[in-house]
Amino acid sequence: MSTYRTSLAFARLADAALNSYAETVITKMTGNPGFTTPLISLTVFTTAQTAFSESIVAAMQGGKQATATKNAARDTLLGLMRQQAAYVQSIAGDDLPLLLSAGFEAASTNRAQVPLSKPVVDQVDNPMSTQLGVRLKPVYTARAYEVRMSYGTSGWQAVGVFTQSRVVIPDLTPGTTYTLQARAIGGSTGYSDWSDPVSHMAM
């Protein structure tokens, strides 16, 4: 029988995705009969998530202080999420449905080597101004996808890690052409090769 543990890959999510992940955990743990005595109270958890959410909005206005505040709020939230993940794991044990009911993702400790195929960027579009939408062809056994981008003479910059094959990249400069790549994450082999680069202009 496979043994499961809570995945800590959420620590690599972009700010907006991490905030959404934390909201999901709070929602699914609220009133969950499987987790009646959480290590981190949902009141404390919600306060930290709200502070992080508000700091993301404030940081969009720019300024070093706002960015520093946002980063500090992110670190605080991540610390609480790691503790809550450990609590969920201690209760759920080998019960995968129970673990997932808390809103966390599961990471299998099965050591079988499962190679990951190189992702294919199926489509890039402009869902809104200053955004690019990236659609990947799902990779079998992938738990998440890491995306990076470059533009002009800049090198590759990490965008984030996403659990869905549809990714929206915000806060881009209109008229700038961005080159994008993605790789799959999962299994004990870790990462796939990077996809072929695809370029698209932000509007």
Q: Kindly state whether residues 103 and 154 are assigned to the same domain.
A: no
Segment 41-89, tens digit of pLDDT? 999 999 999 999 999 999 988 789 999 999 999 999 999 999 999 999 9
pTM over 0.85: no
Give the burial class of 129: count Cβ atoms within 10 A of its Cβ; 0-12 exposed, 13-18 middle, 19 or more buried.
exposed
For range 121-138, the mean pLDDT: 93
Q: Kindly state whether residues 128 and 173 are assigned to the same domain.
A: yes
**Looking at 90-94, 141-145, 177-181, which range is the least confident one?**
141-145
173 occurs within a structural domain: yes
Percent with pLDDT over 90 in the chain: 64
Q: Kindly state whether residues 148 and 92 are assigned to the same domain.
A: no
Q: Kindly state whether residues 129 and 82 are assigned to the same domain.
A: no
Structurally, how many domains does the chain consist of? 2
CATH number at residue 183: 2.60.40.10
* Of 118, 114, 138, 117, residue with least CA distance to 189: 114
The Cα 42–Cα 103 span in angstroms is 13
- Residue that is last in its domain, among 108, 129, 153: 108
Segment 130-147, tens digit of pLDDT? 999 999 988 877 888 899
**Looking at 26-35, 81-90, 91-100, 138-147, which range is the least confident one?**
138-147
* Of 141, 130, 113, 115, residue with least CA distance to 60: 130
Instruction: Give me the domain span that covers residue 92.
Output: 4-108
What was the pLDDT predicted at 38?
92
Instruction: Tell me if residue 141 falls in helix, strand or coil.
Output: coil
- Residue that is last in its domain, among 82, 108, 134: 108
